[in-house]
């Protein structure tokens, strides 16, 4: 097995691979102080939204946005509203995914899921609210020329709709991923498009034109694939405590995954290949892409 | 009782009050041919979205948008993407409201609700999808100067979030409307803000400045209040078959309504007063507001 490939046995030796903590801290601090609605009457709804939003995690999507902005020579903090909006959207999708009628998950990042704590009704509305507030955040708090701001919001709307996240969630619940093609499409829609949006909006906010944005998207598309293959491997080999969720759930639910389709060995090889292609895609991008490469390394080697 | 006030006894005499059918037909035709995602793999999700979207109704929100555009001397059809987006958002809110863990409604407009036909998981995602597609629709299909388009999308995002529709839905499920103040706030958020958005975006798309937009909002706020008082009266006095839902549900669930708070007689008087104030607010608006007055009349006199 190649060094650095995802492997549960590595979990007892050494720490996590390097990660741009300076960007993660920026995101975390911004999310902590974010005003999601101050009316006392909605206090418990906002509490439910914050409960899920502030459950930790690596904040990969907003960190990607900030890393792209930084790589292009701009101050990462200028993109914080848009970066945070992507984390709100990711959180919204997790809350709805965890609902009893969808994935019926009781644990997320080692804590009871939103509906377990606040009830199903409030959890549905907390997801809905996070999605609205994500758009409001970009539109009310992000500074950029009107054309750039419109491009950013359009990218986010496309990434989350039927041709993106929601379409992928549907394919997942409907069990429509039966072969490799469908599996790839399902993940591309369910998680890939939002990861692409995270990278692309960083480029759009700092003035990238259509051609440049396409080069960023190519990198991000590979990153999304890599993320998913590793996710499937971790479900098979990971430790429930470290993952913060039940490991082996894919197998017990007979889900079609990269591991189920290709076996653990080939899945690991595919992850390595995807990682290699992601780094190659970085060659076509301007500026200092060291941090973007670090994120690709992290996604390959992460253990949860 | 004043002539034209909501009254179940009137349901057997005469037809519906006049309504701008030319605008309703424009909206209906546009919704019918709207592409909500062509991938065969999401076909059943799109079917669920269309099932709820094309269940009929007066299309009051989009018709309001088009009526404002028309009153300002522009071609109503230019605002169809934004007008339709408001109907998508209204439909999304109904689908989620009807879910078993929220209002647990099995009938809507005389047909089984979305989750009764497609299952709870698909219904949640159909709502989510309609919300995304609403933003996508405005951003991809609405022609307007970037500043105006941004103002429109911002208005919609604010109207739907914690300080708008979702916040009001939360107050409703949490049973937080215990007195008149809270009841007014709950409705202002749950239905009022989207009705305001429908009117205001029509003005914004046709070049209204902030001051003008505020005058339109004053009219729309009154219209929202009128709509809700009449809704409460109809629940008390209406006919289940004509309403397309179970009449008397508010009373049986001991909901705080205008009828429960003030009695039927005073609720009717309040509807008349609200209607009068709405017509008065029209005096401050430019152009020919005949159709807007007709919509206010319709909302007062409607029987479902």
Q: Which domains does chain B have, with CATH numbers?
A: 8-301 (1.10.600.10)
Q: Measure in Å the smallest separation between the Cα of B187 and chain A Cα atoms.
A: 13
CA angle B122, B107, B168 (to 5 degrees): 75
For residue B200, give the nearest of B11, B77, B72 by alpha carbon: B72
Q: Measure in Å the smallest separation between the Cα of B88 and chain A Cα atoms.
A: 13
pLDDT score for A256:
86
Give the separation between CA A64 and CA B296, rounded to whole angstroms. 49
pLDDT score for B23:
98
pLDDT score for B7:
43
Range 260-289 of B in CB contact (< 8 A) with A: none
Residue recorded with tokens 């020329």: A145
End-to-end CA distance of chain A: 19
Give the separation between CA B211 and CA B193, rounded to whole angstroms. 18
ipTM for the predicted complex: 0.93
Alpha helices, DSSP H, located in chain A: 21-32, 43-53, 60-71, 80-98, 114-118, 120-141, 146-160, 165-173, 180-187, 193-205, 210-237, 240-243, 249-252, 258-282, 290-301
For residue A228, give the nearest of A201, A199, A255 by alpha carbon: A255
Q: What is the pLDDT of residues B17-55, one digit of tens each?
A: 899 999 999 999 999 999 998 788 899 999 999 999 999
Give the separation between CA A223 and CA A77, rounded to whole angstroms. 23
> Would you call B96 and A149 a contact, using CB atoms and an 8 Å cutoff?
no
pLDDT score for B96:
98
In degrees and rounded to multiples of 5, residue A108 shows phi and psi of -150, 125
pLDDT score for B121:
98
Q: Which residues contact A152 (CB under 8 A, 6 or more apart)?
A: A82, A138, A142, A144, A201, A204, A205
Evaluate whether A301 touches A17 at the Cβ level (below 8 Å): yes
Q: Is the pLDDT of residue A77 over 50?
A: yes
pLDDT score for A14:
53
Give the separation between CA B301 and CA A223, rounded to whole angstroms. 57
Pick A132's closest partner by Cβ from B46, B149, B161. B161
Residue recorded with tokens 């975006």: B201
The pLDDT confidence band at residue B253, using thresholds 50, 70 and 90, is confident
Question: Average pLDDT for residues B179-198, to the nearest whole number?
Answer: 94
CA count, 13 A, side-chain hemisphere, A276: 8
pLDDT score for B139:
98
For residue B281, give the nearest of B226, B238, B204 by alpha carbon: B226
- Across chain B, mean pLDDT equals 91
> Would you call A45 and B146 a contact, using CB atoms and an 8 Å cutoff?
no
Lookup: tokens for B183? 């009841």
Lookup: tokens for B196? 């305001």
Evaluate whether A81 touches A142 at the Cβ level (below 8 Å): yes
pLDDT score for A15:
65
Is residue B158 less than 8 Å (CB to CB) from chain A?
yes
The pLDDT confidence band at residue A38, using thresholds 50, 70 and 90, is confident
pLDDT score for A300:
96
Pick B162's closest partner by Cβ from A119, A120, A133. A133
- Strand, coil or helix: A110: coil
The pLDDT confidence band at residue A177, using thresholds 50, 70 and 90, is confident
Report which of residues A250 and B266 the model is more confident about.
Answer: B266
Evaluate whether A89 touches B132 at the Cβ level (below 8 Å): no
Pick B124's closest partner by Cβ from A101, A161, A176. A101
As a whole number of angstroms, the longest Cα–Cα distance in chain B is 56
pLDDT score for A234:
93
Chain B residues with CB-CB distance to A165 below 8 A: 132
Q: Is the pLDDT of residue B157 over 70?
A: yes
Query: pLDDT over 90 for what percent of chain B?
Result: 79
Mutation for testing the A interface, residue in B153, B162, B181, B204 having most A CBs under 10 Å: B162
The pLDDT confidence band at residue B8, using thresholds 50, 70 and 90, is very low
Distance set, CA A238 to CA A96, A232, A243, A247 (Å): 24, 10, 7, 6
> Would you call B102 and A121 a contact, using CB atoms and an 8 Å cutoff?
yes
H-helix or E-strand containing B278? helix B258-282
What are the b/e assignments for B136-154, b being 16+ CB within 10 Å?
bbbbeebebeeebbbbbbb
Give the separation between CA B28 and CA A80, rounded to whole angstroms. 40
Q: Is the pLDDT of residue A111 over 60?
A: yes
The pLDDT confidence band at residue B214, using thresholds 50, 70 and 90, is very high
Q: Is the pLDDT of residue B267 over 80?
A: yes
Report which of residues B72 and B8 the model is more confident about.
Answer: B72
pLDDT score for A49:
98
Q: Measure in Å the smallest separation between the Cα of A167 and chain B Cα atoms.
A: 6
Is residue B46 less than 8 Å (CB to CB) from chain A?
yes
Nearest CA in chain B to A42: B167
Is residue B211 less than 8 Å (CB to CB) from chain A?
no
Give the separation between CA A71 and CA B109, rounded to whole angstroms. 54
The pLDDT confidence band at residue B243, using thresholds 50, 70 and 90, is low
> Would you call A124 and B132 a contact, using CB atoms and an 8 Å cutoff?
no
Q: What is the pLDDT of residues A6-31, one digit of tens each?
A: 443 333 345 678 999 999 999 999 99
- Strand, coil or helix: B111: strand
Is residue A162 less than 8 Å (CB to CB) from chain B?
yes
CA angle A147, B132, B194 (to 5 degrees): 90
> Would you call B136 and A119 a contact, using CB atoms and an 8 Å cutoff?
no
Pick A161's closest partner by Cβ from B120, B133, B174. B133
In degrees and rounded to multiples of 5, residue B107 shows phi and psi of -125, 140
Mutation for testing the A interface, residue in B38, B91, B153, B166 having most A CBs under 10 Å: B166
- Strand, coil or helix: B107: strand
Lookup: tokens for A111? 């804590």
> Would you call B153 and A153 a contact, using CB atoms and an 8 Å cutoff?
yes
Report how many Cβ contacts below 8 Å link chain A to chain B. 173
Q: Measure in Å the smallest separation between the Cα of A25 and chain B Cα atoms.
A: 26
Is residue B139 less than 8 Å (CB to CB) from chain A?
yes
Q: Is A142 exposed, middle or buried (0-12, 13-18, 19+ CB in 10 A)?
A: buried
The pLDDT confidence band at residue A250, using thresholds 50, 70 and 90, is confident
> Would you call B167 and A37 a contact, using CB atoms and an 8 Å cutoff?
yes
Lookup: tokens for B296? 């206010």
Give the separation between CA B31 and CA B35, rounded to whole angstroms. 9
Is residue A116 less than 8 Å (CB to CB) from chain B?
no
pLDDT score for B195:
98
Q: Indicate the range of A153-167, A240-254, B36-50 predicted with least confidence.
A: A240-254
Query: pLDDT over 90 for what percent of chain A?
Result: 79
Pick B136's closest partner by Cβ from A41, A146, A161. A161
Question: Average pLDDT for residues B162-178, to the nearest whole number?
Answer: 92
The pLDDT confidence band at residue B14, using thresholds 50, 70 and 90, is low
Chain B residues with CB-CB distance to A156 below 8 A: 135
pLDDT score for B27:
98
Give the separation between CA B261 and CA A135, rounded to whole angstroms. 36
Question: Average pLDDT for residues A40-44, to the nearest whole number?
Answer: 91
The CA dihedral of A188, B120, A261, A221, to the nearest 10 degrees, is: 10
For residue A127, give the nearest of A97, A103, A156 by alpha carbon: A97
H-helix or E-strand containing B295? helix B290-301
**What pTM does this model have?**
0.93
> Would you call B162 and A46 a contact, using CB atoms and an 8 Å cutoff?
yes
> Would you call A153 and B158 a contact, using CB atoms and an 8 Å cutoff?
no
Q: Is the pLDDT of residue A215 over 90?
A: yes
Q: Measure in Å the smallest separation between the Cα of A186 and chain B Cα atoms.
A: 9
Q: What is the pLDDT of residues B136-146, one digit of tens each?
A: 999 999 999 99
Report which of residues A281 and A7 the model is more confident about.
Answer: A281
As a whole number of angstroms, the longest Cα–Cα distance in chain A is 56
The dihedral through the CA atoms of A167, A172, A175, A180 has a sign that is positive
pLDDT score for A243:
67
Mutation for testing the A interface, residue in B113, B119, B170 having most A CBs under 10 Å: B170
């Amino acid at each position: 097995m190649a060094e650095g490939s995802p492997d549960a046995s590595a979990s007892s030796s050494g720490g996590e691979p390097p990660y741009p903590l300076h960007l993660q801290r920026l995101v975390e601090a911004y999310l902590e102080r974010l005003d999601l609605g101050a009316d006392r009457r909605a206090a418990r709804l906002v509490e439910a939204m914050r409960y899920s939003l502030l459950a930790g995690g690596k904040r990969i999507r907003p960190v990607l946005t900030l890393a792209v902005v930084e790589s292009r020579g701009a101050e990462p903090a200028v993109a914080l509203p848009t970066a945070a909006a992507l984390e709100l959207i990711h959180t919204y999708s997790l809350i709805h995914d965890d609902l009893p009628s969808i994935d019926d998950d009781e644990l997320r990042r080692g804590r009871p899921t939103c509906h377990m704590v606040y009830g199903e009704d409030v959890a549905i509305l907390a997801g809905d609210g996070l999605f609205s507030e994500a758009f409001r955040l970009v539109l009310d708090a992000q500074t950029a020329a009107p054309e750039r701001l419109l491009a950013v919001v359009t990218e986010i709307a496309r990434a989350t709709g039927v041709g993106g996240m929601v379409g992928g969630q549907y394919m997942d619940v409907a069990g429509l991923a039966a072969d490799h093609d469908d599996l790839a499409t399902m993940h591309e829609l369910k998680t890939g498009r939002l990861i692409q949006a995270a990278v692309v909006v960083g480029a759009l906010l700092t003035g990238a034109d259509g051609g440049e944005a396409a080069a960023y998207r190519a990198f991000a598309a590979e990153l999304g694939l890599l993320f998913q293959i590793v996710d499937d491997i971790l479900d098979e080999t990971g430790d429930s405590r470290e993952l913060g969720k039940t490991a082996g759930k894919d197998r017990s639910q007979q889900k079609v995954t990269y591991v189920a389709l290709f076996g653990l060995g080939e899945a690991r090889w595919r992850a390595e290949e995807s990682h290699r292609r992601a780094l190659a895609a970085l060659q076509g991008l301007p500026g200092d892409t060291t941090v973007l490469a670090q994120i690709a390394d992290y996604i390959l080697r992460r253990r949860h």
